[in-house]
């Protein structure tokens, strides 16, 4: 059966970017994403949510959580990659990394902090911003463990144990045992001078072990890697390769039948061509590239997820969407399992739009 698609949001004057989605017990969907002037923020940025009460077929008007414009010195706060989670106490938590532009991302990334907001009415309204000591960029969804511990993973640049401008990426995690009132860390999830490890997605497996799937960002088409923790994120074992080659920004979760699903951008190795994805004006006269054209989903068993030896791993890859634009940009996803068993996934993609749009997809395990 073909994958069913829906437009969650499209505004041809706005770059709609990096969505995530969560679901309340009654089936209401809440999608969060960033609006800005381009993939790399230059002049303004904003976080918004939309909701759906019919399973994703129609979406509400936008609710603005926060927005930023240049101050007197010309510095604008870049709201980067928002995430959203339904908590066991019935609240929603939204979080996002934010940094000043300039200096943009040409730093060790410790100048980027994670901010949170909470909603007690299923996303109809949001609290004031709650600042945290968590630093780094591209945060994972907040992970709530059965013990009540909260984990938030991010990445920075580090070499020889010190944060610095040059050096490979390091995935880190902060922990809270009092629902975000205080945080401890960071704890190093993965750091290897051979690789650019970033954009981790931590999943709690049924036996309590944690697995963190990691993007490898050398643009060599290498596989995603993974690391493991048996003490709720304090110490980590790894890294180990996975079968997901070219995997960018993995988003992992458990399916009702006990299998593991990971959605991700597929980026092959080699040149990506000209990556001109800030504003339509900057595209004129540029050579089309091969950047970020495909979005995939991957299913594996828990045994495969827990395996350290690549020979003991295996799964099935499902193509979700292809970006046909000569200035393609897509593949940051979020997903939930709906009450009918289907998976609903959100993604940003350019495709037939002049700027990036937010698109939704329904697919089932039988599609694999």
Is the pLDDT score of 288 beyond 70?
no
Give the pLDDT confidence of 240-276 residue by residue, as tens digits.
999 999 999 999 999 999 999 999 999 988 866 444 4
Residue 59: predicted pLDDT: 98
DSSP-H helix ranges across 88-223 = none
Q: What is the mean pLDDT of the chain?
A: 93
The closest of 360, 363, 367 to 59, measured between CA atoms, is 360
The closest of 99, 137, 140, 327 to 233, measured between CA atoms, is 140
Is the pLDDT score of 181 beyond 60?
yes
Distance separating alpha carbons of residues 209 and 361, to the nearest angstrom: 30
Residue 106: predicted pLDDT: 64
CATH architecture assignment, domain 4-367: 6 Propeller (2.120)
Residue 281: predicted pLDDT: 46
Residue 279: predicted pLDDT: 42
pLDDT band at 87 (very low <50, low <70, confident <90, very high): very high
Share of the chain above pLDDT 70, in %: 93
Domains in the chain: boundaries: 4-367
Mean pLDDT, range 166-189, rounded to an integer: 94
Measured CA angle at 322 (ends 319, 323), to 5 deg: 155
Residue 168: predicted pLDDT: 84
Listed range (83-87, 223-227, 283-287, 302-306) with the worst mean pLDDT? 283-287
Question: How would you class 256 by CB atoms within 10 Å of its CB: exposed for 0-12, middle for 13-18, buried for 19 or more?
Answer: exposed
The closest of 352, 342, 298 to 322, measured between CA atoms, is 352
Residue 280: predicted pLDDT: 47
Give the pLDDT confidence of 7-49 residue by residue, as tens digits.
999 999 999 999 999 999 999 999 999 999 999 898 999 999 9
Residue 324: predicted pLDDT: 95
Which H or E element spans position 318?
Answer: strand 315-322
Residue 291: predicted pLDDT: 86
Mean pLDDT, range 136-145, rounded to an integer: 98
Residue 3: predicted pLDDT: 94
pLDDT band at 108 (very low <50, low <70, confident <90, very high): confident
Residue 300: predicted pLDDT: 98
């Amino acid at each position: 059966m073909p994958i069913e698609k829906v437009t969650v949001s499209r505004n041809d004057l706005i770059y709609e970017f990096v969505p995530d989605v969560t679901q309340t017990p009654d089936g209401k969907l809440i999608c969060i994403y960033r609006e800005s002037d381009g993939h790399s923020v230059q002049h303004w940025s904003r976080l918004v949510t939309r909701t759906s009460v019919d399973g994703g077929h129609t979406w509400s008007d936008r609710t603005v959580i926060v927005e930023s414009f240049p101050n007197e010195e010309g510095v604008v706060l870049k709201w980067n990659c928002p995430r959203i989670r339904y908590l066991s106490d019935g609240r929603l938590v939204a979080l996002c990394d934010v940094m000043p532009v300039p200096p943009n991302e040409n730093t060790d990334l410790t100048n980027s902090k994670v901010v949170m907001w909470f909603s007690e009415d299923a996303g109809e309204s949001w609290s004031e911003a709650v600042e945290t000591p968590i630093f780094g960029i591209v945060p994972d969804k907040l992970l709530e463990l059965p013990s009540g511990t909260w984990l938030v993973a991010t990445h920075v640049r580090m070499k020889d144990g010190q944060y610095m401008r040059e050096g490979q990426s390091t995935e880190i995690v902060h922990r809270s045992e009092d629902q975000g009132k205080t945080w401890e860390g960071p704890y190093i999830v993965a750091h290897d001078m051979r690789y650019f490890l970033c954009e981790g997605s931590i999943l709690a497996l049924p036996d309590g072990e944690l697995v963190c799937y990691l993007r490898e960002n050398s643009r060599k088409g290498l596989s995603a890697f993974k690391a493991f923790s048996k003490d709720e994120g304090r110490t980590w074992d790894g890294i180990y390769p996975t079968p997901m080659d070219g995997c960018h920004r993995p988003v992992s979760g458990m399916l009702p039948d006990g299998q593991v699903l990971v959605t991700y951008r597929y980026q092959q190795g080699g040149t990506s061509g000209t990556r001109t994805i800030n504003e339509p004006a900057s595209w004129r006269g540029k050579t089309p590239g091969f950047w970020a054209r495909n979005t995939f989903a991957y299913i594996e068993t828990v045994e495969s997820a827990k395996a350290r030896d690549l020979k003991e791993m295996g799964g099935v890859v499902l193509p979700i969407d292809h970006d046909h634009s000569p200035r393609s940009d897509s593949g940051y996803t979020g997903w939930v399992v709906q009450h009918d068993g289907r998976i609903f996934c959100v993604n940003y993609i350019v495709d037939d739009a002049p700027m990036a749009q937010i698109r939704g997809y329904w697919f089932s395990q039988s599609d694999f």
